[in-house]
Amino acid sequence: MLFDKSNSGISQINRRSFLKSSAALALLSVASGSLLARGAKAQEPTKLTMSGSHWGVFRGTVENGRLTQVHPWEKDPRPNVMLQGMMDSIYSPSRIKYPMVRRAWLEQGPGSDPEGRGTGDFVRVSWDKALDLVAGELTRVREKYGANGVYGGSYGWKSVGKFHNCRTLLRRMLKVTGGFVNSLGDYSTGAAQVILPHVVGSLEVYEQCTTWDVVRDNTKLMVFWASNPVNTNQIGWLIPDHGGYVGLDEIKKAGIRVLCIDPIRTETCQELNGEWIAPRPQTDVALMLGIAHTLYKEKLHDEAFLKKYTVGFDEFLNYLIGKSDGVEKTAEWAEAICGIDAGTIKQLARDFASNRTMIAAGWSIQRQHHGEQAHWMLVTLCSMLGQIGLPGGGFGFSYHYCSGGSPTATSPILSGITDGPAAAEADLPKGCTPGDNSSACQPLTNAIPVSRVVECLLNPGKVIKYNGSDIRYPEMHLAYWVGGNPFAHQQNRNEMIEAWKRLDTFIVQDFQWTASARHADIVLPVTTSYERNDIEQLGDYTLSHIVPMKKLVEPMYEARSDYDIFTQICKRLGKEYEYTEGLTEMDWIRSFYEGARIESRAKGMEMPTFETFWESNDALGFPISQEQKRFVRYESFREDPLLNALGTPSGKIEIYSLNIAKMNYDDCPPHPTWMEPIERLGGPTTKYPLHIASNHPIFRLHSQLGGTNVRKHYVINGREPCWINPKDAAERGLSNGDIARAFNDRGQILVGIKITDEIMPGVIRIDEGGWYDPLNPREPKTLCRYGDVNNLTTSIATSKLAQSNCGQTAVVEIEKYNGPIPEVTVFDEPHYKNN
């Protein structure tokens, strides 16, 4: 049973009984308390209003200006318990109420006492004052250091909505007011999205998979390789449709054999009664090579497929059989690295080859040192199996994400707010022409790989390699963050804190007192999406509905929308019209809808008028054809590889890439290769004995909702849970509920112990997104009181190719914490003084 304490170990909620126990659909309500909302003064009639979030579509009951109940949409096949936290996020004690400035920054100027960041020494200021300070500081930094002094790469999962897309709104503001440094790529698939275009000609990780219907009807063996859709499909980048759960139910009913290759017996493995194979983390490439070697030796590989649809197998084969490096990648060789016995590895090869096999791969295996290799090797393995493009065979890299595999509807694409004109010339200082690389002509919108921000701050001027190009790190003095939480998402927290000292100014706009906000110099309170109007599509892959996201309650305290804040900054910098184009919130929303209406006509459909749609208080649905329900990824390529050539240089799957060979990177060879990560469980140079799986959390979206009442359902002794195998716990004298200290050379955190045999020995699990709560922010490598795993992870890049993050690369030790137990403080607002 899903999310049952006895199974998952960290939850006290049994999801199904939780849902059943609530009357009708009125599932989620908050206890009525004192009302602080501005809109609470007026007595309004009870009403139901539709909106959406990363957790699903819902209708809200608003009583006396307060959201009191959330009703999941009746068409949601598997409503999400996180909706409860979503509602609480409006009212939680972690809400930012007023504009704040760090005292030292305010009184002594930018860059003062950077060690004081995170101590909570804030002064409340008026909006006018805060906006003047921001506009003035942008001007000062640009005048002194140029546009490259301002970092606006601001990565993060923001909120859904085509208009209040705060990261784009920030870039729009920074673009019209004078330029900034941008970011490249993302934290989710940073390595895979750079390597896969070289291999299969597309990002692949965000592409539609063969539909679940086709899998149900054709697949005989479903392999979840580092993939846990029962957990990770709960949320969406757009509003989630949760169709992946229907797919999982179907394959369960069909009795399809399921294998889970994962150091943890995941919720998916449990729900589908899967067979569990637990390799040592970070050794999947070796395991895949062992399987590939068996396929080759036992002549189970599909030579015809390799010849017709791929290039470079021969070069790879020389490596596989040890011709090129003297090491044959036998199952026995793989066993010594990954810990799975050679017999099982050989049997996997036979089972994969003798069945219609679909490999659903997750993304943790590319969030590791040399992470580029994992998905490349998976494509190679599937090429050897020869089932790519056949119904129910091959690979799917997004079955676990936003319900990939749910069929795509015939629908228009809603546009959204943009960050302004994209012409290359417009990005250069006046008088510069594209291609002029002199220091005076650096692009105004320079960009660095997203997870390299810390390295960039520490090494201005350094030149790094990136996917065939050179990037020179700019010298940045101001960072402006919206819609993201770098003090949660970035690896190696203590190194980051040192790097942040190079900044004169760190500005954060958020609605919660995240660790990032607590380390900011200027903090601006924004509205949640439930305090403003917007519009969004349902289902990243299905795009099956357009959802009105109607304002439910008035902005709390002094919160303003990102759009309003940036408009006011632009006004101070003389660029208000360029920013707003004279349009209001509802003008923009209407314009996106009207654009979709025009597109839908071209597809032979007539959407209702905007007024009808908006007043309907319901999602507008689009048809899904039989053909769309039977979509098979790579079917057309398989049918005609010349006519439907891939976007690679050869038009085929590239098992050997000439382009990558030309880059000549020592850490990314031209064919999939096993390379030791800098540290791993059982590795040759590893100092600490336990690997940490920093998975995506069950009851949060990263750090989002960490500050809400959902937290009480999973914390252990008030801390972030740490799963540990009974053997490892016994060796360390740890019991359930203990507070323990996990540590390595990079940092130390407190966690709450959960002993479970759902995790393999040698591995502990501490989910990413725990809020950073430094015991003494002025002390280097101070203890984190709550359990932010990124105190322990490495900030090394995957390789010169993708320069992506390695959030899954970390080994540690753990011990019972015998010191005085410090109170967790990060979930309340910091102390501040009124100005």
Instruction: Provide the binding-site residues for ligand PGD, judged by CB under 6 A.
Output: 156-159, 164, 166, 187-188, 225-228, 231-232, 234-235, 261-264, 266, 279, 281-282, 284, 362-365, 367, 400-401, 482-485, 488-489, 509-512, 514, 526, 562, 693-698, 700-704, 768-769, 789-790, 793, 807-808
Q: Is 187 or 305 the residue whose CB approaches ligand PGD more closely?
A: 187
Report the C-alpha dihedral over residues 783, 786, 789, 790, rounded to 10 degrees: -60
- For ligand PGD, give the closer residue by CB, 145 or 557: 557
Min CB(372)–ligand PGD separation in Å:
14
Q: What are the C-alpha distances in Å from 219 to residues 42, 59, 382, 419, 673?
A: 58, 38, 14, 43, 29
- Chain-centroid distance of CA 654 in Å reads 27
The number of residues in the chain equals 835
Q: Which residues of 7-39 are buried (b: 16+ CB within 10 A; e: fewer)?
A: bbbbbebbbeebbeeeeebebbebeeeeeebbb
Residue type, 222: M
Q: Where are the beta strands (DSSP E) in 659-728?
A: 690-693, 721-724
* Cα 832 to Cα 329: distance, rounded to the nearest angstrom: 61
* Residues designated catalytic: 155, 157
d(CA 295, CA 288): 10
* CB of 160 vs ligand PGD, minimal distance in Å: 9
Distance CA 782, CA 115 (A): 12
Q: Which is nearer to ligand PGD, 442 or 804 (CB)?
A: 804
> Which residue's CB is nearer to ligand PGD, number 380 or number 808?
808
Closest distance of CB 364 from ligand PGD, Å:
3
CB of 644 to ligand PGD, least distance (A): 29
Q: Which residue has the tokens 């919206």?
A: 482
Closest approach, Cβ 278 to ligand PGD, in A, equals: 8
Smallest distance from ligand PGD to CB 227, Å:
6
Q: Contacts for 418-422 with beta carbons within 8 Å, 24 or more apart?
A: 418/168, 418/172, 419/168, 419/171, 419/172, 419/175, 420/171, 420/172, 420/175, 420/176
Smallest distance from the beta carbon of 694 to ligand PGD, in angstroms? 4
Indicate the residue among 232 and 494 with the shorter CB distance to ligand PGD.
232
Q: Which is nearer to ligand PGD, 309 or 363 (CB)?
A: 363
Nearest approach, Cβ of residue 765 and ligand PGD (Å):
7
Of the candidates 86, 53, 102, 780, the one whose C-alpha atom is nearest the C-alpha of residue 508 is 102
Q: In the complex, what is the shortest distance from the CB of residue 637 to ligand PGD, in angstroms, rounded to a whole number?
A: 25
Residue 51 or 509 having the CB closest to ligand PGD: 509
What is the spatial distance between Cα 423 and Cα 445, in angstroms, rounded to a whole number?
11
Task: Provide DSSP, 299-346.
Answer: T-S-HHHHHHHEE-HHHHHHHHTTTTTS----HHHHHHHH---HHHHH
Q: Least CB distance from residue 128 to ligand PGD, whole Å?
A: 20
For ligand PGD, which is the closer residue by CB, 282 or 357?
Answer: 282
- 626 φ, ψ to 5°? -60, -40
719 φ, ψ to 5°? -115, 165
Closest CA to 449 of 462, 439, 440: 462
CA separation (Å) from 816 to 689, 755, 800, 813?
16, 13, 39, 11
Pairing of strands 180-184, 445-449: parallel
Nearest residue (CB) to ligand PGD, 229 versus 394: 229
Q: Tell me whether residue 355 or residue 512 sits nearer to ligand PGD (CB atom).
A: 512
Q: Residues near 414 by Cβ (< 8 Å), separated by ≥ 6?
A: 162, 535, 536, 537, 546, 592, 593, 595, 596
Crossing angle between the packed helical segments 372-385 and 313-320, to the nearest 10 degrees: 100
| Contact yes or no for 622/407 (Cβ under 8 A) | no
Extended strands (E) in 539-666 = 545-549, 620-621, 653-654
Closest-CA residue to 826 (of 430, 461, 518, 546) = 518
Q: What is the DSSP string of 231-245?
A: HHTT--SSB---HHH
For residues 409 and 421, what is the distance between their CA atoms, to the nearest angstrom? Answer: 30
Shortest distance, position 400 Cβ to ligand PGD, whole Å? 5
597, with CB counted inside 10 A (0-12, 13-18, 19+), is middle
Reading across the β-sheet that carries 66-72, which strands appear in turn? 28-29, 66-72, 56-63, 47-53
CB of 213 or CB of 262, closer to ligand PGD: 262
